[in-house]
Chains A and B, each alone.
Chain A
Amino acid sequence: MNAIKKIKNSTNKFASNWAKIVIKNKWPVLMFSFLLVIGLGSQGELEFDGDYHVFFSESNPELEAFDALQEKYTKDDNVIMVLSPSNKDVFTKLNLTAIEDLTAQSWNTPYSSRVDAITNFQHTSAHGDDLYVDDLSYNSLNKSEAEINKIKEIALKEPMLVNRIVNEEGSVTAINITVRLPGEDSAKEVPEVTKYVRDMVSNFKSKYPHFDVHISGMVPLNTAFFEASMKDMGLTGIMILIVIITTFLLTRSIQSTLTTLVVVMFSIISTLGFVGLTGIKLTPPSSVFPTMVLTLAVADSIHIIITMLQKMRKDGLNKNEALIESMRLNFMPVFITSLTTVIGFLTMNFGDVPPFWDLGNITAFGMAMAFLFSTTTLPALMAILPIKVKSKIKENEPVYYFNWYSELARFVIKQPIKLSIISFLAIGFLTYLASKNTFNDEFINYFDESVEFRTDTDYISENLTGVYNVEYSIGSGESGGINNPNYLNKLNEFENWLKQQPEVVHVNAFSEVARRINKSMNGDDERFYKIPSTREEAAQYLLLYELSLPFGLDLNNQINVDKSETRVTVTVKNLDSPQMIEFSKRGEQWLRDNTPTEMHAIGVSPMLMFSKLGFRQADSMLKGNIIALILISLVLMIALRNFKLGMLSIIPNVAPVLIGFGIWALYKAQINTGMVIVFGMTLGIIVDDTVHFMSKFLRAKREYGYNANQAVEYAFETVGQALITTTVVLLAGFAVLSTSSFALNSYMARITVVIIISALIIDFILLPSLLILTNKEKKKVKKKYTSFFFFR
């Protein structure tokens, strides 16, 4: 027992000396921290990256496969503008002219390489031995009624157009702009395209007001990511307001509120400096860091300030004495909770999703700074500011809380076995439910309905075409082999099989091009709408066709340079991640079962990349989570200097996450990549509750020689209030985040809210029950453990 006292004394001594030094040098400390903040803050630079590629690490196999496919053909992104004329008929002179007009302007979109519209569709027709390949509608204003009807007839029968560029009824049409972003600076390129398209569309709408325009595609997705980042960054303002209100309500002191505000602002500004120095580009997940840092930093300050005020109000200490005493009592807990939080956030680096590495590292740095400022700037400022308390009036108030917490303590002490059993049953049941969650990373649903991108995209999938796709690059095994009829016929079978799948909206395959040219080469005879009979025919028809295509509408996006592979693009309905993965696998399986080896291919697409992201993140985070659990339990064991309690702490630390996901299964049952990180993250946060409770329990037993029941009651009375306070602050922060329109952030925040509440309940019900139960047996087993307590 002497050893503990010694360490305890030495830490206490260290903490009070620290406080004394800070108070003595309050002005230099304040100046120094101010200079540090200015120095770091001057490096602050906020850059955003909206490119969806940021979600994938360089070694991500789905990204590699997708990049490989894009390099083989063309690397491009798109903007799709869906036009709905109010007369519900695309095929009128005026409407076609409007479409031609917008198509022409679309060619001027920055980085555009291709524009597909109904009017510039390259329609092939034969007149004797002449082959015509030309725009489906050109100079529409001068067309006769009959010509317009003919165009409508062709368009609504054209498999390349229906369900892709025009709907079956001919009431909605699309213009698809393909852009090839250089990828040097997506923070500049994406907004450039977006601005052009938005201006173009608003001009179009004022010129042709009877059109409704909806915009989607990969570039608008990037823009939506970009704007989500900015918007979530904007939550910081609300959070600052909440910090001010919460701190004021809890401390009822303007000076304390001001001091807390200074500490959290210092922490955030330094963190901004860290972002600038490391050159991290912010993405939606990492852009919530200010709110996170604020939330976690304010908890540190509040602990120190509340204890100080209590010491002044209750024990009648003068300001500096109270400050030193508060620092003495809180230095270690604040240090340990900061340490565990930092560990928790750093484990995000184990994951496979780079934006969360950034979030983890930035927040970890922010926490370190918050600790530094809470233990330097805060006491310095509190020492400088004049603070007066009316000790008499407040004296009775805490008694009320005491009663409430003692009540709860007695409730637990009465029935520890019953409460443990009920708790374990509930935890067991919710854990079972938690296993019912499935991963879903539909990136459209990352955005809630307040985001225009989401509603526009929903409109498009309801009225025209799918927004998700899967692509296969089908090889022929030889140079020029795509003209081999064997290959083409197999490809054609694949195309037909795909079209029969219930999920499929549209299939774009080279076999369709081969059939179409064959028909035209045979005088537009429908009987020849099939694969040419010899390789020479197919190759020569293709050569002829390619010579007839205009700028930007070539087949290079569909055929590789060697003419040995072609690209099959399957547009599908809105599927969730498991369905998407299953569909892509079904296609791969069909190829394996029905085609020669060289034609086997794996499905790739951005949607598939996102679909597998959750699984990949979960797999890679598993190791990180285990390491976090071990490290944090180790920190607890060392901090509490008790192996058994360290082991026991695993239960209240892990259970809230299980409960959280169990309740989530009742709420949404679908989890996204953003939620995978919550285990490590919340572990670092909720562990605070356990630390505080257990340390008070131990102190009661060691210092005052209480038995388990009395120690539990003591723990309730001393830290009950503090736990509620921290929980309230954390809940406020995460509640603010849960209003984000971006699901990776809002879902993460919502489940964190559930986890934090469960953590408090568990620490008030299950933890004390377990402490009572395990410490009753202690007398028998004590000897067994003694050898482990090397510091006893």
Chain B
Amino acid sequence: MKNLIITMVTSIAITAMGIAQENKGLEIAKAAVQADLGFNSSMVNLKMLLTNSNGQISERALTIKTLELHEDGDKSLIVFESPRDVKGTSTLTYTHKIGSDDQWLYLPSIKRVKRISSNNKSGPFVGSEFAYEDLSSQEIEKYNYKFLEEKENLLIVEQDPVDPKSGYTRRIVTYNKDKGYRIEKIEFFDRKNMLLKTLNYTFYKLYKDKFWRANTLKMVNHQSKKETLLDFFDYNFDANLNEEDFTQNALKRN
């Protein structure tokens, strides 16, 4: 009888702790979103450097526009500047808090907008080590959370993707609570729960006294030994973009 009580108490305690861990993880993720709230829109140039295990390098240049939305996920528009043969190609994405995102691609060579069935968003983005899901807007609803540990100013949270088509079983995200809950590092675990990639955020800069943006993102694939470096420059938070800039027509104009 005594044993039973102890067992019950412990299991309740463990369950309660589990729930607490989940809540705390969710709270941190929410705090991070909260801290970044109110940027309205941004524009940034991006240089992508792809390196294979052989040391061969390839470069791509893009421009990214983002529009902040509150009821649903953010909208974003990516324009390719180089390589030359894809210049002007652009993608428009409406992220949704629940369900699949909507995605269109404009192809200047045929001057047509094509809608992409985006059930697949776990594949590599233009041959890089970033999956589309790594780059898209990080909506709270897309993960289940579990707080892991706190190391000084760093909070470590496990995030399990809700989407069954995700390429990951989980991600381990390191937040910096002293710097507006900005993300310092993400570790990605593949479907068999092996460490697949590590993403490091460096050269952070504070914009408008509120928004932390990393100028360099380095993704290392531990299994293929390939790397992708993202260099962001010329962040612009004053472009005042609006819904009009994120339509299929706007896609064609770029």
Contact = CB atoms under 8 A, between A and B. Distances in A.
Interface stretch (A16-24, A395-403, A549-557, A674-682): A549-557
A240 interface: no
Interface string A121-138: 010000001111110000
Contact of B223 (A72, A107, A113): A113
A480 B223 contact: no
B160 to A, nearest CB: 16
Contact of A540 (B51, B54, B85, B116): B85
B58 A561 contact: yes
B57 interface: yes
Nearest to A68: B54
Contacts of B132: 547
A109 B86 CA distance: 37
A131 B56 CA distance: 32
Contact of A539 (B56, B86, B117, B226): B86
Nearest to B222: A182
Interface stretch (A450-458, A529-537, A624-632): A529-537
Interface string A458-489: 00000000000000000000011001000000
Given A480-B85, A560-B52, A561-B58, A110 B126 contact: no
- Interface centre among A541, A552, A561, A562, by most B CB within 10 Å? A561
Contacts of A562: 50, 56-58
B233 to A, nearest CB: 22
A597 to B, nearest CB: 20
Contacts of B116: 130-131, 133, 544, 547-548
B127 A540 contact: no
Given A107-B192, A560-B56, A537 B105 contact: no
How many A residues are at the interface, by size bracket?
35 or more
B131 A561 contact: no
Contacts of B113: 129
B83 A561 contact: no
B83 A133 contact: no
Contacts of B109: 534, 536-537, 539-540
- Interface centre among B56, B131, B194, by most A CB within 10 Å? B56
A539 B192 contact: no
A559 B127 contact: yes
Interface string A113-156: 10000000010000001111110000000000000000000000
A1 interface: no
B108 interface: yes
B165 A550 contact: yes
A41 B116 CA distance: 66
Given A131-B117, A550-B122, A543 B167 contact: no
B207 interface: no
A642 interface: no
A71 B174 CA distance: 32
A72 B56 contact: yes
B85 A130 contact: no
Contacts, number: 146
Nearest to B117: A132
Contacts of A563: 58, 83, 127
B124 A556 contact: yes
A129 B57 CA distance: 34
Contact of B124 (A130, A483, A546): A546
A521 interface: yes
A110 B53 contact: no
Contact of B192 (A108, A133, A521): A108
A68 B55 CA distance: 11
A74 interface: yes
Contacts of B118: 548
B232 to A, nearest CB: 20
B89 A561 contact: no
- Interface centre among A112, A113, A130, A563, by most B CB within 10 Å? A563
- Interface centre among A71, A133, A539, A559, by most B CB within 10 Å? A539
B123 A550 contact: yes
Interface in A152-188: 180, 182
A2 B132 CA distance: 93
Contacts of A559: 127
B158 to A, nearest CB: 19
Given A537-B109, A540-B89, A134 B120 contact: yes
Given A480-B84, A536-B85, A544-B107, A549 B123 contact: yes
Given A72-B54, A108-B191, A521-B110, A551 B115 contact: no
Contacts of A521: 110, 114
A75 interface: yes
Interface residues of B, number: 48
Nearest to B227: A561
B91 interface: yes
Contacts of A108: 191-192
Contacts of B126: 543, 546-547
B83 A539 contact: yes
Given A560-B52, A561-B58, A553 B123 contact: yes
A130 B56 contact: no
Contacts of A113: 223-224
A561 B85 contact: no
B52 A551 contact: no
B192 A561 contact: no
A554 B124 contact: yes
A535 B85 CA distance: 7
Contacts of A122: 120
B155 to A, nearest CB: 28
A74 B223 CA distance: 10
B80 interface: yes
Interface in B10-31: none
B122 A547 contact: no
A71 B223 CA distance: 13
A133 B119 CA distance: 8
A541 B116 CA distance: 12
Contacts of A541: 107
Interface string B65-92: 0000000000000001001111001010
A122 B119 CA distance: 12
A103 B52 CA distance: 28
A540 B113 CA distance: 12
Nearest to A128: B115
A584 B119 CA distance: 40
B86 A543 contact: yes
Contacts of A180: 223-224
A550 B121 CA distance: 6
Contacts of A131: 114-117
A555 B132 CA distance: 15
A518 to B, nearest CB: 11
Nearest to B105: A544
B53 A112 contact: no
A113 B226 CA distance: 13
B205 interface: no
Contacts of B108: 536, 540
Interface string A635-654: 00000000000000000000
Given A112-B192, A561-B50, A546 B120 contact: no
A71 to B, nearest CB: 4
14 contacts: A110-B194, A133-B116, A134-B119, A535-B85, A540-B86, A540-B89, A541-B107, A546-B127, A548-B118, A549-B123, A550-B123, A551-B167, A561-B56, A562-B56
Given A75-B224, A133-B116, A540-B89, 17 more contacts: A111-B194, A111-B223, A113-B223, A129-B112, A131-B115, A479-B83, A537-B109, A537-B110, A538-B85, A539-B83, A543-B89, A543-B126, A547-B105, A548-B118, A549-B120, A556-B127, A561-B52
Q: Give the top 9 A-B pairs by smallest Cβ distance, nearest first.
A: A551-B167, A551-B122, A539-B85, A536-B109, A549-B123, A550-B120, A71-B54, A562-B58, A132-B117
